[in-house]
A and B are shown apart, each in its own frame.
Chain A
């Protein structure tokens, strides 16, 4: 039998992606949807005897929506062959979301209605008569909790039955389905009166009590910084010891097994394998525990519902820079990786506001840059000073981003309205978080892995060829190359060897530390000592400042190019960050030399 294609649709914040992950499971191949110019998550899974391709569409407020996200979802519904739709609603909010399901049903495709967060609905005294709904709608209705994995089997069964009896129904063109809004409202109201009971005035919840503090006019701001610091404390205190342990283990493996094993190999090959690949990739690999903890903590914050609160608190500030609270949230999401944050700008409707947001996201201190900063601050600064140095980079990251937005705010024109849901707080479950962060760390590895291996291999070639020269000396290819860039980087206090790693950092910041390990010929555990001997704090800080501000990586540039659909904007944004990076490092280094 042929492969069936199923799409997940729903409003934002309905737990659609959680259901997607639950249905596809950890084993499913999750990839990007190939049929369109934009990336949609899709997974293959077996339902009964049938292969199913499950596509997760972006959240839709309604089929009339005008944001890029909604345009993508609508385009998909219009142009792709689809066998059935899974419509996900938040059961608690069925009163307002049922009309959306009816609108989707008008498309004429077979649907399964999934009412997620059924546990929360019960707690909020929203009572849903599932059988009555099923009978009135003429489609399967499943009450589930995607977060806890309750009722997922029921969805699979419904899907299996649906595919088994699949009769191809004629589809109603989208524009036709849109002309029935008033009829849908009436139908929704009648259905709700028949099958749903909910309290008219919701009782005060613990979300309200927490918000009294977290959304308090000034306590809320204090709480925001306390939360942010707490998160980094967790990442640092859990990830850092693990990183050290991994570094020691890799170093031990190298001296105990690899060096003896490579003894009989020709010298250039042994050097390439050990000083090139192993040192380079090994040094990057020691950061995996930190990356993993980082993603775990970030997913927990995202799932808790706090991000919308941050948008609420920061909107007044952001509006003065031509942006809104959502741009601030994307800036924080960029702490993980800039690429999804750039893609996240799709929820913005005003294209100029979107570009302004894309212009400042690359200044957000991503986890790859965090690696470089952790390494340098540990190597150069005292344990007492290191956390403050790190904090200064987060502050600078925001300041430069805000200043950039402020400079270009005039280009935006009239701002689009800010209307977004403030979901109740939800405690993340560990099993789901683990699944999520493992998957994200895996994507990070697949995305960066190739770059890292190729990068360290090329660096080894540049620093060790022509064979026989002192590695990374002026006579090596890298040395010759660096001679050209010296005039640019010397006023910043960045020496030739460091400038080579910066060149590779343009491709991806993940390579920087690996490149340095290869350049200095140091193993995963020796590099800190080597760095400490070769530079002072001014040079180190200037190097980090440049690393923070210049282009994050090729992947981010590609994302900006794809999302802005403008080469000119991409080039302009790259030049903007390069110019700021050079000027900031120059100003810092030349000032610091006076002290």
Chain B
């Protein structure tokens, strides 16, 4: 099944990956960051159109564990706040 992404940046349903509740799936719409950061995220599978979820967050405002496809990555909240996503409830 191919997931069709809503990539409209003005969609009110959009939220930030940093605010996505644990266990909820979402589609990445756009990444508001410098080229280097976008390229690194892309290499780890996070790019517009990819389906992501937050698996857990570390205590004391530590990093998030984010899952995308078969890859789990560690990401700080500050960077997760640059990733705009569209939750699929």
**A: which residues have CB within 8 A of B?**
11, 61-62, 64-66, 92-93, 95-96, 100, 124, 126, 198, 200-202, 208, 211, 215, 217-218, 308, 311-313, 315-317, 319, 324-325, 417-424
A64 touches B76 (CB 8 A): no
- Top 7 closest pairs, chain A to chain B, by CB: A316-B62, A96-B45, A316-B60, A217-B59, A61-B43, A422-B72, A62-B43
Chain B, interface SS category: mixed
Cα distance A201–B26 when bound, in Å? 12
Q: Which of B3, B25, B44, B78 contacts A61 (CB 8 A)?
A: B44
What A residues does B70 contact at CB under 8 A?
92-93, 95, 124, 126, 198, 202
CB proximity of A519 to chain B, nearest CB, Å: 49
Q: Is B15 an interface residue (CB 8 A)?
A: no
* A-B contact number at CB 8 A: 106
The reply to whether A419 and B75 contact each other, CB–CB distance below 8 Å, is yes
Q: Are A417 and B78 in contact (CB under 8 A)?
A: yes
Within 8 A of A (CB), among B66-83: 67-76, 78-79
Q: A93-B71, A200-B51, A313-B58 are in contact. Are A64 and B39 (CB under 8 A)?
A: yes
Shortest distance from the beta carbon of A484 to any chain B beta carbon, whole Å: 50
CB distance from B37 to the nearest CB of A (A): 6
- Chain B residues with CB under 8 Å of chain A are 1, 3, 25, 36-37, 39-45, 51, 55-56, 58-63, 65, 67-76, 78-79
Question: Nearest Cβ in chain A — how far from B38, in angstroms?
Answer: 10
A-B contact pairs, 22 of them (CB 8 A): A11-B43, A64-B39, A66-B36, A95-B70, A96-B45, A198-B70, A202-B67, A202-B69, A217-B58, A311-B74, A312-B63, A312-B65, A312-B74, A315-B58, A316-B60, A325-B63, A419-B44, A419-B79, A420-B74, A421-B44, A421-B72, A422-B73
Asked whether B56 lies within 8 Å of A215 as measured between CB atoms, the reply is: yes
Minimum CB–CB distance from A129 to chain B (whole Å) comes to 17
Q: Do the beta carbons of B74 and A315 come within 8 Å of each other? A: yes
Residue of A nearest to B82 (CB): A417
Complex CA–CA separation, A170 to B81 (angstroms)? 44
**Chain A proximity of B56: nearest CB distance (Å):** 6
Q: Is the CB of B37 within 8 A of A421?
A: no
CB-defined contacts of B76 to chain A, threshold 8 Å: 315, 319, 324, 417-418
> How many angstroms from the CA of A224 to the CA of B62 in the assembled complex?
16
Please name the residue on chain A nearest to B79 by beta carbon. Answer: A417
Contacts of A421 in B (CB 8 A): 44, 71-74
Contact B39 A62 (CB under 8 A): yes
Name the residue on B nearest A95 (C-beta). Answer: B69
Shortest distance in angstroms between A35's beta carbon and chain B's nearest beta carbon? 27
Q: Are B69 and A198 in contact (CB under 8 A)?
A: yes
B37 and A417: CB pair below 8 A? yes
Q: A215-B56, A312-B65, A421-B71 given. 20 additional CB < 8 A pairs?
A: A61-B44, A62-B39, A62-B40, A64-B36, A93-B45, A96-B45, A96-B69, A126-B70, A198-B69, A200-B1, A202-B69, A202-B70, A313-B62, A315-B76, A316-B60, A418-B79, A419-B37, A420-B74, A422-B73, A422-B74
Give the CA-CA distance A29 to B68 in the complex, in Å. 40
CA distance A66 to B34 in the complex (A): 13
Taking a contact as CB atoms under 8 Å apart, the answer to whether A96 and B71 are in contact is: yes
The listed residue (A61, A62, A66, A418) touching B74 by CB distance below 8 A is A418
Assuming the contacts A312-B62, A315-B74, asked whether A200 and B40 have C-beta atoms less than 8 A apart, the reply is no
B12 vs chain A, min Cβ distance (A): 26
Q: How many Å lie between the Cα of A285 and that of B55 in the bound state?
A: 48
Cα–Cα, bound, A422→B67 (Å): 9
Q: Knowing A62-B43, A66-B36, A200-B51 touch, does A312 contact B75 (C-beta < 8 A)?
A: no
> Which of B25, B51, B62, B74 contacts A419 (CB under 8 A)?
B74
Closest Cβ of chain A to B13, distance in Å, is: 21
Task: Point out the residues of chain B lying under 8 angstroms from A419, CB to CB.
Answer: 37, 40-41, 44, 73-75, 79
Determine which residue in A95, A96, A215 has the highest number of CB atoms from chain B within 10 A of its CB, and name it.
A96
A93 and B70 alpha carbons, distance in the complex (Å): 6
- Bound together, the chains give a CA A201 to CA B72 distance in angstroms of 12
Residue among B25, B43, B62, B68 facing the most chain A CB atoms (10 A cut-off): B43
Q: In the complex, what residue of chain B is closest to A320 when comparing beta carbons?
A: B60
State the CA gap A126–B58 with chains docked (Å). Answer: 29
How far apart are A492's CB and chain B's nearest CB, in angstroms? Answer: 38
Contacts of B68 in A (CB 8 A): 96
Residues of A within 8 A of B39 (CB): 61-62, 64-65
Collect the chain B residues with CB atoms within 8 Å of residue A198's CB. 69-70
Most buried by A among B1, B58, B59, B60: B58
